[in-house]
Amino acid sequence: MTKKAKVGRNAPCPCGSGMKYKKCCLPQDEAARMANVSVLTAAGAETRTEADLYGAVPETIEDMYGAIERMSWSNSQYGIMARTLVQHLSERFTWDEINATILLWFAYSREQEPVVPKPGVVFAALEYSLAQLTGRSEVTKAEVAKRYEVSAGSVSKRIADLSPFVERAIAALNGE
C-alpha cells in the first residue's frame, strides 16, 4: 500500500491543468474528504462522514471552542481568530449561525490563507455576510465596520473575497 504524496496548496495541480492546486482540484478533494472519512474502530475500519465524527452543532461557547480546537487550521492564528469571532457573535446570533460562520471562515482561510493585519476587518466581513445570509438586511457594512473599529472600505473588500465561499455555502444548503 502506498501513501499518496501531499500536494501543497501553491504547487502545480497534479491533474496537469497548469493551475495552482488551490485554484483547481483542492475544493473537490476537500469535498470528497469531508464526505467520507475512514476511521478505525474496535470493530475494524469504518467509513463515516466528517460531520458524524465531529457531532452535532455546538450549543455553548465551550462546545464551540472544542469544535474549533478539533479543526485542522492551516495557521494556528486562524483558529485563535475563530475563538474571538465566537465571542463577538455569541450575543447576536444563534449557535447554528455561529457554527456556519466558523465553517465559512475555516473554508476561506484554508483555501486563501489570507494575511490578516487587522482581524476586525475579517470579523466585520464575516458578520455582515452572516447577517445577509440570515435575512438581517438592517445590518449595514458601516455598522459592522464601526463595531470592529475598521474602515467600511476594508470590510467591503473582504466581503468581496468571501463572496465565492458564501455562494458555495448557499449552493450546498440548497443541495446543488
Whole-number Cα distances in Å, 40 to 37, 44, 48, 101, 103: 10, 6, 10, 30, 25
Ordered per-residue pLDDT tens for the chain, 176 residues = 333 456 777 888 888 888 887 788 777 666 555 444 333 334 444 444 444 444 567 888 898 999 999 999 999 999 999 999 999 999 889 988 998 899 999 999 999 999 999 999 999 999 999 998 888 889 999 999 999 999 999 999 999 999 998 888 777 767 76
pLDDT at 53: 44
pLDDT at 69: 92
* Cα–Cα dist 38/50, whole Å: 9
pLDDT at 87: 94
pLDDT at 5: 57
* Cα–Cα dist 97/38, whole Å: 28
* Cα–Cα dist 15/109, whole Å: 23
pLDDT at 31: 58
- pTM for the model stands at 0.66
Residue ranges and CATH numbers for the domains of the chain are 9-43 (no CATH), 57-174 (1.10.472)
pLDDT at 29: 66
